[in-house]
Structure 1
């Protein structure tokens, strides 16, 4: 089921679209073309829940994350936070909203200023948004944020290059938490970390969600981690959502052939000898000149003439799942889940 079935949405996107004008070809014969990075995405996240956003590189996940935070202006559509549209970027109302919506970036070393100590970087947001805080309150807030992410007090006086990758990511997380947000958009937050450290950061995110009631949009290509941390999952392909639903149901019985192929690529000792869909072949098509109809048809084993003629709508199936495929019937999810 979708997040709205469990609680009122904290964050909602309605037909969110972002197009970029790009130049193609070599001068002097170059020309402008339209890149549809995000093309009509609708989703919602309930309070205290996690939406996993997955797909291959270049599918529009990170652009969607920035649109959700108002870091990019949409070409069309809107984002609602706590039922209210996002204010215009740079305005006083937008800055007030942004205190409650924070980003956790993929590369912790790139996200931190190597010239500043940890305490200065974590406390910088307080300097901007709460200049009225006394020095004592400021110091206590920074210390509490450092402790909340599992770092020790002496880390406050370190520079980023003096920390391990996992510690740096904890600093990035502490900096996001210092303003006591309600929403974190985590853009590939563990992909730059060793596997053992990844598990620690994921467990930390789960603990923080439980203790603070945080809501996450978790962007990742690691489907095993997405399954562990997410309540709902949205699968993106070439700027559009092709499957969307409750995480366990989606992983147990994926309906879209793209989702099936992504899951087939996950190594699994337990499923050795069991017939699985073939992993994806080839690269995604050019987003500036996508195929007609269904963009996935050039790589899809089910593709037929109708796939070239009409783009499939994201239709709701049994159990609240939504799938954009001409060959998925409304009762397909219920039938497979019961099998």
Structure 2
């Protein structure tokens, strides 16, 4: 289990855009993902968190090869990810699947859900129709669906049932890795806990690894072994989930963690100033300095590297080891 399942190194995804209004604005570069490195072991969960627009979903698509990187590499079980669309990439696709945010949008409203659950096996040319149906029956049972729902259409199911259909479809090819992109954010609160518990049970039973993308830190804390925090396309902190939530080090992480609702005595919150900068016009130096209460001239001038601390935590902050900030944490 010590082998690395997925390893991304220096991933970048930049887009040419027009700054300003209309088609005649000046050309600019949007750095959706800007130098992200991460790794994931079999049967483990890496939570990827941050505000909307920070590059989480783009990172998920990059590691699956759905979109090509501007720079950087992705390795699966020690082998470079083949270019998307090639026979080698298609052969690898059954091992890695994605679970999308909106289950209704991810399903074809014109087809019974059973047909859609079997679709991955049909696409990859595996098994006869009878064997596909048998496999679908087993997977549906694993995710808590009944066979009488096989011929139902998506609109005839509840939101929680539709998300179970999406999970069942992803599991048909017995993947090693699921990239879960906000998998519960579109569900009622009463259903979210059911889906989270289902994901945990499936991981215990099947040894699946999850890249769990979410802005809900309370859920991420529940499901993740490790957590990476993104801000404006970069990872600013990464470490073991228990340690990171107990003692967040980067000011941005501290602000996010302090905002999680908790029972008991009220704790001091670290409030951020303003909104995230325009990703087309990222500030010089540390991109967080415009909102950071601890920023200095050095923060405004020099981009901090993602450093590994003695305890194994990775943090991109010039001042993280200063005693004053250690006390404040």
- TM-score (norm: length of structure 1): 0.93
Check 1:331–1:127 CA distance in 2 against 1; reply closer, same or farther (3 A cut).
Answer: farther
| 1:244 match | 238
Structure 2 runs not aligned, ≥5 long: none
Pairing 1:293–2:285 present: yes
List runs of 5+ in structure 1 lacking aligned partners. 1-5
Instruction: State yes or no: 1:141 paired with 2:135.
Output: yes
Separation in 1, partners of 2:177, 2:300: 39
**Distance between the aligned counterparts of 1:313 and 1:281, measured in 2?**
23
> Which residue of the partner structure matches residue 89 of structure 2?
94
User: Which of the residues 52, 57, 61 maps onto 1:62?
Assistant: 57
* Separation of aligned partners in 1, 2:310 and 2:229: 18
Between the aligned partners of 1:287 and 1:14, the Cα distance in structure 2 is 21
Distance 1:118 1:332 in 2: 57
**Partners of 2:23 and 2:251 in 1: how far apart?**
42
Are 1:106 and 2:101 an aligned pair?
yes
Moved more, 27-36 or 295-304: 27-36
Mapped contact 2:19–2:280 kept (Cα < 8 A)? no
Give the aligned partner of residue 51 of structure 1.
Answer: 46
Once the two structures are superposed, residues 254-275 of structure 1 have per-residue CA deviations (whole angstroms, 9 ceiling, x without a partner) of 0000000001111223241x3x
The CA deviation string for residues 255-310 of structure 1, in whole angstroms up to 9 with x for no partner, is 000000001111223241x3x23232311001111100000000000000000110
SS at match of 2:311: helix
Q: CA deviation at 1:130?
A: 2.1
Aligned-partner SS, 2:150: helix
CA–CA distance in structure 2, aligned partners of residues 225 and 26 of structure 1:
39
**1:331 & 1:301 partners in 2: Cα distance?**
16
Q: Provide the rounded CA distance (Å) in 2 between the counterparts of 1:28 and 1:14.
A: 34
Comparing 28-37 and 99-108, the one that deviates more: 28-37
Write out per-residue CA displacement over residues 216-270 of structure 1, whole angstroms, 9 at most, x where no aligned residue: 0000001010000000000000000000000000000000000000011112232
Is the aligned partner of 1:152 residue 2:152? no
Answer whether contact 2:18 2:24 (CA < 8 A) is retained: no
* 2:3 pairs with one of 5, 8, 14: 8
Q: CA RMSD in A?
A: 1.7
Q: CA offset at residue 23 of structure 1?
A: 1.2
Asked if structure 2 preserves the Cα contact closer than 8 Å seen for 1:20 and 1:35, the reply is yes
Query: What is the total number of aligned residue pairs between the two structures?
Result: 328
The superposition leaves residues 105-150 of structure 1 with CA deviations (integer Å, 9 ceiling, x where unpaired) of 000000000000011001111111025x222211101111111111
1:213 aligns with 2:207: yes
Distance 1:28 1:182 in 2: 44
- Asked if 1 retains the 8 angstrom alpha-carbon contact of 2:12 and 2:71, the reply is yes
Query: Is contact 2:273–2:292 with CA below 8 Å preserved after alignment?
Result: no
Give the superposition deviation at 1:28: 6.5
CA contact (8 A) 1:318 1:330 kept: no
Whole-Å Cα distance in 1 between the matches of residues 206 and 72 of structure 2? 30
